[in-house]
Structure 1
Amino acid sequence: MIRSLYERYLLGQVNNAPEQIPEHITMILPESDLLDAQGKEKFREVMDWCLKLGITTISIYVDVLDTKEEFRKQMVSTLTTGLMDILGSFPEEVGFFIYDQKGDLKKERKGNSLTVHLSIGFGGRAEITKSIRSILSEVKDGKIAPEDIDEKVIESHLLVREEPDMIIRSGGNHLSDFLLWQSAYSELYFTDVNWHDLRKIDLLRIIRDFQKRQRRFGK
């Protein structure tokens, strides 16, 4: 009863400033948090909470351990299939882009309410490297002149082009190799709450904290 009342109180506070609710949030998760049924169900719940809060973009990085290649491939395949099924079960207003460990697009669906970028084991350094190779290929083909390469050109070749307002690290205290270019001015939030234990109250607290911050965008 008390928890329900507190959740309603937090929701009221968050909704009092809807213009300050982050449009794009990023979540960093280890693969171990998503391998079991409980982790996958939590994934579904969090996506639903974000949809109802009016968040328009979620980018999720599943940090896959650097283990034997055969086991790694099997793990990525299992995660991709399971999370793909969950996202596909949402209404068509929810769009998604799912990338594998090489940055190849495995499946996509356009949506008009919430867009989810899901990267499984493909980090920021690899993303930037891939974008540079793509730009160099266009230079070689004469599609772009070297002197025309600027920040906008680089950004146009990244997998995720939207800059996250907030990056949430669950159960950890350090960032991961994800959206290195895009997150230059993102707000960071570290929580000791593990993914399995994350509640809607915790997410509301995170958003309320974001609303109280004064963003400087590097200034």
Structure 2
Amino acid sequence: MSITKDNIIASKLPSHIAIIMDGNGRWAAQHGNERIFGHEHGVESVRSVVEGAGEVGVKYLTLYAFSTENWSRPKEEIDALMGLLVQAINDETDKLKEKNVRLQMIGDYESLPADVQKKLDWSINELKECDGLTLILALSYSARWEISEAMKKIGRKIQSGELKPEEITKELIDKHLATAGIPDPELLIRTSGESRISNFLLWQIAYSELFFTPKLWPDFRKEDLFEAICDFQSRERRFGKTSQQLVS
């Protein structure tokens, strides 16, 4: 049976969905092309998923677009990816504005090329008044980088006397992460059949439901997103409690 948005229970909708977009290279190889061919076709998947998330009322959608580890890839692929990113921002900003989508970025901003920074700043500013779906791009991001940066910020506050070690709480750490002010994702999706987290939002996904699909990212569409949401809604989320406690 094909899953549509009509199968989704509005009252049980995850407010934040995170996606590890994996499989572009393998998809390109299957089609006899270079890896960048897969990245180019992955843009259509981003467009479809953003549209689907907005249609059903998801508030936050985080896409793992480029990790800190990806900088070790061949220079030709990195240059092509960065060029594709600038082009996509150029092409999609007006469409995102029409759909009332706000844009944010998490990651090591300073490590990005100047032209990418410029386009990101422009697009984020263009979309800052939108109040529908918030699309978060994880660029030059890794969870260990993020947690290390948070610890540095907290350490400096302790060193200056602004903070005492015993005052460190989960809530304090939350405020020093790149995702400060953003709710933790209830659902994490990974495409391509791989069953690992790959250094993505390690702190934030402590209680996320995980959904792994064999589909390669360029084949993933909003109907696949709806399927993942329906699967999420069929699960019992206990947060350490028993089923009986939840019923009572």
For Structure 1 versus Structure 2, the TM-score category normalised by the shorter chain is 0.7 to 0.9
The runs of 5 or more residues in structure 1 that have no matched partner are none
The alignment yields a C-alpha RMSD, in angstroms, of 2.6
Check the 8 A contact 1:21/1:55 in 2, yes or no. Answer: yes
Q: Give the 3 Å change call, closer, same or farther, for CA 193–182 of structure 1 in structure 2.
A: same
Matched, 1:91 2:110: no
Name 2:238's counterpart in structure 1.
Answer: 216
Counting only pairs closer than 5 Å after superposition, residues 37-48 of structure 1 correspond to structure 2 as 37-48=40-51
SS of alignment partner, residue 117 of structure 1: strand
Q: Give the 3 Å change call, closer, same or farther, for CA 42–175 of structure 1 in structure 2.
A: same
How many residues in Structure 1 have an aligned counterpart in Structure 2? 210
- Code of the residue aligned with 1:207 in structure 2: it is I
Distance in 2 (CA, whole Å) between partners of 1:180 and 1:83 is: 28
- Sequence identity percentage: 29
Matched, 1:191 2:213: yes
Check the 8 A contact 1:168/1:188 in 2, yes or no. Answer: yes
Q: Give the 3 Å change call, closer, same or farther, for CA 86–157 of structure 1 in structure 2.
A: farther
Check the 8 A contact 1:99/1:118 in 2, yes or no. Answer: yes
| Alignment match of 1:165 (pick from 170, 177, 186) | 186
Q: Give the 3 Å change call, closer, same or farther, for CA 131–194 of structure 1 in structure 2.
A: same
Deviation string for 1:54-73 (max 9, x for gaps)? 00001111254352585576
Q: Which moved more, 1:181-190 or 1:166-175?
A: 166-175
| Alignment match of 1:142 (pick from 139, 161, 168) | 161
More relative contact order, 1 or 2 (CA 8 Å, 6+ apart): 2
- Code of the residue aligned with 2:148 in structure 1: it is T
Check the 8 A contact 1:30/1:63 in 2, yes or no. Answer: no
Q: Which is richer in strand?
A: 1
Q: TM-score normalised to the size of structure 1?
A: 0.83
Residue 77 of structure 1 and its aligned partner are, at CA, apart by 3.0
Residue 82 of structure 1 and its aligned partner are, at CA, apart by 3.7
The runs of 5 or more residues in structure 2 that have no matched partner are 26-34, 111-116, 242-248
Deviation string for 1:78-109 (max 9, x for gaps)? 35424433552311731111245x25585334
- Code of the residue aligned with 2:97 in structure 1: it is P
Q: Which moved more, 1:53-62 or 1:132-141?
A: 132-141
Q: Which moved more, 1:126-135 or 1:106-115?
A: 106-115
Distance in 1 (CA, whole Å) between partners of 2:208 and 2:20 is: 14
